[in-house]
Structure 1
Amino acid sequence: MSDRARASLARVLDDLGTTLLDLVHPVAERPQEIGGVVIHDRLDEPVLPPHALVLGVGLETEDDVVALLGRLGRERALALVVRAPVPAGPAVREAADRAGICLLGLSRGVPWAHLAALLRSLLAEGDVGADGPQSLGGLPAGDLFAVANAIAALMDAPVTIEDRSSRVLAFSGRQNEADASRVETVLGRQVPEPVRELLARRGVFRDLHRSHDPVLVDPVTFAGVVQLPRLAIVVRAGDEVLGSIWATVTGPLGEARIQAFGEAAKLVALHMLRVRAGADGQRRMRTDLLSTALTGGAGATDALGRLGLAGSPLLVLAVVGDDEQERLGDAFAMHLSAVHPRAVAATIGGVTYGLVPMRPDQVPGADERAARLARDFLDRVGERLGPVAAVGPVAPDLAGLVRARTATDRVLRVLRENPRGRRVAGLDEVQAESLLLELRDQVAARGDRPSGALLRLAEYDQTHGSFLVVTLRAWLDAFGDVIAAAASVPVHPNTFRYRLRRVTELGGIDLTDAEQRFALMLQLRVHRLPESGT
């Protein structure tokens, strides 16, 4: 049996900690493998296996917890779970340290039965053979399509399981028996926006989230046709809404079926948590390995090997958006996997990096293909999330991979701070702008201020409310074309010529001197000066 297959306390916290459990008081140097899950009963104290995880149902006071910790320490238990808020004063913490027991808090609203079922399912992995899939409620754990079909058979109606944003996670068979909106929902894996807006206006989502029982949803009109009614229920894990189940019904339902539909939501919650736990675990491992590879140093070679990328030239890309980076990253990972099955993507520090392995004969022209790949992805996701993409150089080895990651970071900064209509770029396209940004950072870090002619002009503008710095910047940007520069400000060309004479007089500037022009252009880009004298 593998370490992963046998549940440890660390794995329980990884899989369930974000939603159900909180580590209140850790204890160092304790066995991590859980020997069993036991529910505490003060009237009929159970026999504990070694390293038991004990569910402290009904514990309310510090005295209750301290007394139980003393007994659990004598029986070599591993951890105690208490309903939040956990009474964890000095006496409790001292008792936990003395007993060598970790203290966990169970979130408010989470049924003890849900927690016990999840813990026992984690503990059971591998106990029925390494090749057999884990099951929950007699169905393969995490197989939401199997769950949807089971509920459909129970209800004699086609069913969808949806997330909180009405995206379809799974659907049953017999969808041809439903209506047009359900067909479009299944095909698009998303409830049509007009239907969702209508349900929201009717208060359907509000009623669903307030109720713990199934809600009968009256028919809506879609594409000019009245659709069938729905029976819906929210799927919860404690106080957290995970999603919902929707059954298309054609007639009245008996009380027994409605009750069964409500019970099904509890099973769906377990499967959805298992799916999320597995996805989160895979995402964390992929992120850790990719982060190690991109930073180089000890462990980087091994990380590339575990990612299945060792020995290949690697194309490096990166994407970042204004919002919902995790969702953008998942979409990017799917996009890359369609191009190459061994491609890997993960979000690190708010940026999603992607590595695509290449054959040596594919390296020439790789940057152009990568740019097309990035543009195709951005076209698919649209502009709502404000995404931009950087194309790094092909990395022939580990040192090249670190340099390529640095290059993509530099490109992304330029695209975020000065996009100029660009959504995809490589370093060769923005290198000068990247150098200016780095120079601006150094100038700001040293606290340097404008000097010489530029300082004199800036001070004159501030005192007199004039626009000499703006005039100089416009003239330099227009390469000395007075007509174009005047139009960009905008003022009459004669007014612009007058201001330009004042620039040369007050600043003591010779605009025919190339060195002076370059120095002024550089200062104007690295110092943040006001756009006008007002």
Structure 2
Amino acid sequence: MTAPTTVSGVSLETLLQTLGSTVASAVSAPAASGALIRSVTLLESSDLAEEAHAGPPQSGDLCVLVGVRASEILTWLISLASRGREQRPRAVATKVLSAEVERAATRAGVALVAVHPQARIDLVLSTVRSVLAGASHAPFGGYADEPVAGEHDLYGLAQTVATMTGGLVTIEDERAQMLAYSASDGLADELRMLSILGREGPADYLRRLREWGVYDRLRRERGAVEVPADKELGWRRRLAVDIRAFSDATGTPVEPSLGTVWLQEGSRELDPDAAAVLEGAAVLAARLIERSRSAPTQEALQIQRLLGLRGGGVDVPSLAAALSLPSSGPATVVGITATTRPDGTWTSVIHDVAAGVRLHASAYARESLVTTTEQRIYVVIPRARAAGLSAWVSSMLDRLGRRAGLTLRAAVAAPVASLADLGSARAEADRVLDRAGADQVSTLADSRTSVLLGEIVELVAAQEQLRDPRLQTLLDDDEARGGALVASVEHYLDRFGDVRAAAAALHVHPNTLRYRIRRAEHVLGMRLDDPEDRLLLQIQLQCRRREAG
């Protein structure tokens, strides 16, 4: 279950308006649902069972259910009916419905929201969180029944443009993945509905747009591009404009594109000035996207301070209270990184992967928190259970890695006694991730040899007085003679002085290798059968390999 975030609050009606009827709609809305929604929580089967039998729930005002059967929802709702109003959520959103569930929700005084079966739960969560975050920017502390403020939020911007133009707006990133959309009036075409439900443009439609040269025109032209209606495909007329940052010095577009703002014609023709409004919206969207990508949220800053990533002097009790974390008990940190994928860098997809990590982590441990840096994702797990943790991390990495086309690696820190020690746990995870390893999930205990050796090599490499000039003499001799003494010594040492094994690896006769070793000993002024000389030379060679990459 995710940690609820306290904001001024919005009404359920506003949340449903922002989600749109394509994604979610109210099934029942008793009087209690008129209260403000201030937090959202993801719950799975185990969470419902625990809350049904373990006393007052700790969930948010809006509970989004995932992987839960109708019978489990029914049992949970029946248990809620016997509790006071403040001990019940205001609303429950689920893909699984039945007549019994509807009646139980009504008796419990809880609003019931039906989520479309094809809608992605992470989209629902991110949308609700975006609206709740926008509430903290609204004038006078909240906007219980007003649209999202467009100057602060992409959803608010989409709704503002829709209102001004009479159309339906979607905002996509550079990979055609949905960032935000306006409420629908019931005339959304198939392209819009599929994009919203799947959170990205359907492949067949995107291919057709590319064949028509729409994306080429968007990147090439400054201004709105028209896409005419197509009865065969079942889509309505659209205007689109490229989202591009502009240089402060010259006012020219800056590569690459940040995405696209789409405006679909709805129940009436678009307003005459729709193109100009759309162009202005693209400028605002570029600012919002760049701001969101460069500036961490307040919660992210708090988590990073707790992890020691934002300096010292942390008031742990206050931060724990702000993040709804338990003040006592063991906790651990999981660090996650990845290799560079063929068509781009890890940093280009880290936030998408982090969204998936956040979803899995919330289901695994309700109080877990997730944050990112430029290269890594960190998961904080309070009350960590050592049993099964590595297996869960491995399963999560398999799923997310396949989806993103990445090879993901993780380091699990040993549990620490309190939240005040999370900085050291994060540092431990970093120590493991800093060493390239074959294991998908590792701990310091599992990889202590490679970690300590790597840190020793880094220490030696960083201090000139610890570098042995005799190795450079050998390198110079190799370069001058076109020899292979360094490679011969490396193979000889790596095979513990086994001449035949090293010679076979080098594809030379053992006598040739013996000659090279004698020659290397002469140039180095060392004896390679001396344990201290061997150890020192191996460390120096490791430093050289590290510098060579």
Task: Please list, as runs of the form range in 1=range in 2, the aligned pairs for 1:313-462 lying within 5 A after superposition.
Answer: 313-321=330-338, 322-324=346-348, 325-348=350-373, 350-358=375-383, 362-383=385-406, 387-415=408-436, 419=437, 421-448=438-465, 450-451=467-468, 454=471, 457-462=474-479
Q: Aligned AA for 1:381?
A: A
Are the equivalent residues in 1 in contact too, given 2:165–2:277 (CA < 8 A)? Answer: no
Identity, in percent, stands at 24
Task: Please list, as runs of the form range in 1=range in 2, the aligned pairs for 1:252-331 lying within 5 A after superposition.
Answer: 256-257=269-270, 259=272, 262=275, 265=278, 283-295=296-308, 297-309=313-325, 310-321=327-338, 322-324=346-348, 325-331=350-356
Are the equivalent residues in 2 in contact too, given 1:137–1:267 (CA < 8 A)? Answer: no
Could you tell me which residue of structure 2 aligns to residue 59 of structure 1? none
Distance 2:245 2:546 in 1: 54
Distance 2:355 2:184 in 1: 27
Are the equivalent residues in 1 in contact too, given 2:393–2:410 (CA < 8 A)? Answer: no
Q: Which runs of 5+ in 2 are unaligned?
A: 1-6, 9-134, 247-252, 339-345
Distance 1:450 1:277 in 2: 45
Distance 2:491 2:245 in 1: 61
Distance 1:332 1:402 in 2: 20
For residue 378 of structure 1, report the CA deviation from its aligned partner. 3.2
> Greater relative contact order (Cα 8 A, min sep 6): structure 1 or 2?
2
Q: Alignment partner of 2:465: what SS?
A: coil
Instruction: Confirm or deny that 1:234 pairs with 2:241.
Output: yes
Could you tell me which residue of structure 2 aligns to residue 27 of structure 1? none
Task: Please list, as runs of the form range in 1=range in 2, the aligned pairs for 1:116-155 lying within 5 A after superposition.
Answer: 125-126=139-140, 132-135=144-147, 147=159
Could you tell me which residue of structure 2 aligns to residue 162 of structure 1? 172
Are the equivalent residues in 2 in contact too, given 1:371–1:425 (CA < 8 A)? Answer: no
Distance 1:402 1:453 in 2: 41
- What per-residue deviation string (whole Å, max 9, x for no partner) do you get for residues 99-141 of structure 1? xxxxxxxxxxxxxxxxxxxxxx9986237xx572443699x98
Q: Aligned AA for 2:450?
A: E
- Shift in alpha-carbon separation, 1:424–1:353, aligned structure 2, 3 A: same
Query: TM-score by structure 1 length?
Result: 0.58
- Shift in alpha-carbon separation, 1:311–1:131, aligned structure 2, 3 A: farther
Q: 1:216 aligns with which of 218, 227, 230?
A: 227
Distance 1:511 1:474 in 2: 12
Could you tell me which residue of structure 1 aligns to residue 538 of structure 2? 521
- What per-residue deviation string (whole Å, max 9, x for no partner) do you get for residues 296-344 of structure 1? 5442332233212232422201233532244444443344234333221
Query: Aligned-residue CA RMSD in angstroms?
Result: 4.8
Are the equivalent residues in 2 in contact too, given 1:476–1:517 (CA < 8 A)? Answer: yes
Distance 2:186 2:493 in 1: 66
Q: Alignment partner of 2:336: what SS?
A: strand
Are the equivalent residues in 2 in contact too, given 1:392–1:426 (CA < 8 A)? Answer: yes
- Shift in alpha-carbon separation, 1:434–1:258, aligned structure 2, 3 A: same
Distance 1:123 1:288 in 2: 17
- Shift in alpha-carbon separation, 1:496–1:271, aligned structure 2, 3 A: same
Could you tell me which residue of structure 2 aligns to residue 196 of structure 1? 206
Are the equivalent residues in 2 in contact too, given 1:231–1:248 (CA < 8 A)? Answer: yes
Q: Alignment partner of 1:259: what SS?
A: coil
For residue 355 of structure 1, report the CA deviation from its aligned partner. 0.5
- Shift in alpha-carbon separation, 1:166–1:396, aligned structure 2, 3 A: same
Query: TM-score by structure 2 length?
Result: 0.57
For residue 463 of structure 1, report the CA deviation from its aligned partner. 3.5
For residue 407 of structure 1, report the CA deviation from its aligned partner. 0.9
For residue 521 of structure 1, report the CA deviation from its aligned partner. 2.0
Distance 1:201 1:446 in 2: 58
- Structure of greater Rg: 1
Task: Please list, as runs of the form range in 1=range in 2, the aligned pairs for 1:47-196 lying within 5 A after superposition.
Answer: 125-126=139-140, 132-135=144-147, 147=159, 160-168=170-178, 169-170=180-181, 178-179=189-190, 185-193=195-203, 195-196=205-206
For residue 467 of structure 1, report the CA deviation from its aligned partner. 1.4
For residue 516 of structure 1, report the CA deviation from its aligned partner. 3.7
What is the total number of aligned residue pairs between the two structures? 392
Are the equivalent residues in 1 in contact too, given 2:347–2:375 (CA < 8 A)? Answer: no
Distance 2:185 2:499 in 1: 72
- Shift in alpha-carbon separation, 1:398–1:183, aligned structure 2, 3 A: closer
Q: Which moved more, 1:291-300 or 1:492-501?
A: 492-501
Distance 1:453 1:237 in 2: 55
Distance 2:237 2:260 in 1: 16
For residue 272 of structure 1, report the CA deviation from its aligned partner. 6.3
- Shift in alpha-carbon separation, 1:434–1:467, aligned structure 2, 3 A: same
- What per-residue deviation string (whole Å, max 9, x for no partner) do you get for residues 316-375 of structure 1? 01233532244444443344234333221222464332202235xx23454444444444
- Shift in alpha-carbon separation, 1:505–1:264, aligned structure 2, 3 A: closer
Q: Alignment partner of 1:126: what SS?
A: helix
Distance 1:323 1:216 in 2: 33
Q: Alignment partner of 2:264: what SS?
A: strand
Are the equivalent residues in 2 in contact too, given 1:242–1:272 (CA < 8 A)? Answer: no
